[in-house]
Amino acid sequence: MKVVLTGFRGTGKTSVGRILADRLALPFFDTDALIERRAGMPIPEIFLQHGEAHFRALEREVIASLRDVEGVISTGGGAVLDPANVADLRWRGTVYLLSAPPGVILERIAGSDRPGLTGLSPAEEVQTLLLARKEAYLGAADACIDTGRRTPGEVAEVILRAAGISAAERLERDHLLERFGLADLGEMVDRDPDLMVCAIAGNPCAHSKSPLLYNRLFAHFGMRYHYTRLEWPDAETIVRLASLLPTKGVSVTIPFKADVMRCLDEVDGHAAAIGAVNTVVRCGGRMYGYNTDWLGVRAPLAHRRGARAVVLGAGGAAAAAVYALLSLDMDVTVLARAPGAARRLAERSGCRWGGLDEFRGGDTDVVVHATPVGMEPDTRSLLAPGDLRAGTTVFDLVYTPPETPLIRAAKEAGCETIPGTEMFVHQAAEQFRLMTGILVTPALVREMLA
């Protein structure tokens, strides 16, 4: 058994860790103490003589040495900013993020000889670092516990109880799982209280490769996680079921990327600007929305910066594509079967718009297809070979089948083609980081999909 406690200074990691280790009859490992032992000097002296970079290198060595231990580990909040540390801490372990309000943290660390990291006043530093680290903290943790009004003993008790849901909530959960055709999932969760759940949410989503990819990645990183499908006609019911399960993350697909936003506690700036969420991270009973689709579009097109681009479609995927292309300084036009929808997206983004019949291949360097047309079993393409010119880059965001009718037409026309699997690979790598705190390479994602 491996239990990991992380969080900002003053959140009680060491005190809680010692209590847990005693109650569980497990050894206790404090990474700060191990760093001091390895360096032969206290942490303030390490910072004074060698700087933060040296401290982080020692921290990395210590955490790597704890990868396979059984015990309770207390580690600093800065440690989980390094995805390699997160991978080692998560290996066959459960990670708890301990948090507290900034004012409480300030009171608890007052008088500490630990040097500051920013040159700001203590109050400003706490606020600044908590905000900067928030995304990494949420991703690295399996559960989040507020220690502000709890004693270390009470926090330890919360962890030991592994607080679940009430009897009434369990009945509701089981009823919903039955309706979703997932009755076995409730049994899995009940059998293994440490099991965490992630899922793809959409209607339909049976075609998604996410369960295959994520379950292989979870096994690769030694995580007690299970990825499933939540297919249902409305986002609200899906979010409710997710709140009744030990859910850590949800991948959101058609048609819920906009609808799900009103069900969340917080939405990050990129997702808000795009108007769509494709990634939900849950921790401490709160749900946070992000968008990784735009990064999945941006990465494969980075070599076409400044090009003239056309986006086909006006939904959530199209909005992410427009956002990505504008970040690459492209001249963007939105074309859709419903010109009104194209106009709304274009006006919000500050680009041109029109109907699909206005597509002119000779005036276009990059085409991004962002509609479901061509997704199995659909065999249509919005464009024919004659609509395109050689040298144009055609990126089809549909990834099932791997070679869509549009990609075949583009190849016939002599275009550079980018299949939707590339968008899926890049957005999935970022999504996995948001949900788990672990950085995976596109090459590893491709390997897991093979």
Q: What residues are annotated to the active site?
A: 257
Side-chain-side CA neighbours of 183 within 13 Å: the count stands at 3
Q: Are the C-beta atoms of residues 271 and 249 closer than 8 Å to each other?
A: no
8 Å CB contact between 217 and 440? yes
End-to-end CA distance of the chain: 32
**Structure tokens given for 177:** 């799982």
Q: Count of CB atoms within 10 A of residue 48's CB? A: 11
Q: At what angle do helices 235-244 and 167-180 cross, to 10 degrees?
A: 130
Tell me the pairing of strands 279-283 and 247-252: antiparallel
Side-chain-side CA neighbours of residue 66 (13 Å) = 31
For residue 98, the 8-state DSSP code is E
**Rounded to an integer, what distance in angstroms lies between the CA atom of residue 202 and that of residue 192?**
26
The residue among 270, 264, 340 whose CA lies nearest residue 298 is 270
Q: Which helix (H) or strand (E) holds 367?
A: strand 366-369
* Residue 183: count of CB within 10 angstroms of its CB: 11
Contacts of 200 (CB under 8 A, 6+ apart): 208, 210, 211, 227, 228, 229, 230, 250, 251, 253
Return the axis-axis angle of helices 43-50 and 52-65, rounded to nearest 10°. 130
Distances from the Cα of 43 to the Cαs of 16, 89, 243, in angstroms? 21, 21, 41
- Yes or no: say if 321 and 397 are a contact pair by the CB < 8 Å rule: yes
